[in-house]
């Protein structure tokens, strides 16, 4: 039924649950599992002169900060890949590290790779928190044309 399944991960518990579900579907349908991690841009307000972040990045340098963030995403991908391969060596896994707005990159990669299913975690934010924080899973559900399974 499904030949290519996309699962975005960020190291959070909801994304770990989504990865587990995506793995089960991939095994059941002998599908390829695309595991992606998206490095989001640093919000503009973070750069303000009154921000502790600005002081921090001046101390270590913005390039070092970017490298640390990228390394954290690489670590999340490698841990996921190693865990999956140890438990199911027959699983077809492709990892993708990308940069950009998270929901946008998820949808773009889903189209580029012509995936059959997206399996995503959901933090369960509601009300003002969901509106204020954006809600990646909500945005993908509202705008993506691919089938999506949200895992809590």
Tokens at residue 44, please?
């503009």
Residue 40 has pLDDT above 50, yes or no: yes
In this predicted model, what pLDDT tens digit does every residue of 66-85 receive, in sequence order?
788 899 999 999 999 999 99
Residue 47 has pLDDT above 70, yes or no: no
Q: How many C-beta atoms surround the C-beta of residue 37 within 10 A?
A: 25
By the 10 Å C-beta count (0-12 exposed, 13-18 middle, 19+ buried), 52 is classed as exposed
When pLDDT is averaged across residues 131-136 and rounded to a whole number, the result is 60
Residue 152 has pLDDT above 90, yes or no: no
Spatial contact of 53 and 47, defined as CB atoms under 8 Å apart: yes
CA distance 61 to 43: 17
User: Residue 76: CB partners within 8 Å, gap ≥ 6?
Assistant: 9, 10, 11, 37
Which domains are delineated in the chain? Answer: 4-151 (3.40.50.620)
Mean per-residue pLDDT over the chain, rounded: 85
Q: How much is the pLDDT for 128? A: 44
Q: How much is the pLDDT for 50? A: 47
In this predicted model, what pLDDT tens digit does every residue of 101-132 receive, in sequence order?
999 999 999 999 999 999 999 875 555 444 44
Residue tagged 């996921």 (tokens): 80
Q: How much is the pLDDT for 124? A: 56
User: Residue 109: CB partners within 8 Å, gap ≥ 6?
Assistant: 6, 34, 36, 96, 98, 115
In this predicted model, what pLDDT tens digit does every residue of 88-103 receive, in sequence order?
999 999 999 999 999 9
């Amino acid at each position: 039924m499904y030949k290519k399944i996309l699962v975005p991960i960020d190291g959070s518990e909801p994304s770990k649950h989504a990865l587990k579900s995506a793995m089960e579907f991939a095994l059941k349908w002998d599908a390829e599992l695309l595991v992606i991690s998206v490095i989001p841009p640093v919000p503009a307000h973070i750069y303000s002169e009154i921000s502790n972040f600005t002081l921090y990045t001046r101390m270590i340098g913005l390039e070092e900060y970017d490298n640390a963030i990228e390394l954290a995403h690489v670590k999340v991908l490698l841990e996921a890949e190693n865990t999956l391969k140890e438990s199911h060596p027959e699983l077809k896994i492709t990892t993708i590290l990308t940069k950009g707005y998270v929901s946008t990159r998820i949808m773009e990669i889903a189209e580029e790779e012509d995936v059959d299913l997206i399996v995503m975690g959901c933090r369960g934010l509601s009300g003002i928190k969901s509106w204020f924080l954006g809600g990646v899973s909500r945005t993908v559900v509202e705008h993506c044309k691919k089938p999506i399974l949200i895992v809590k």
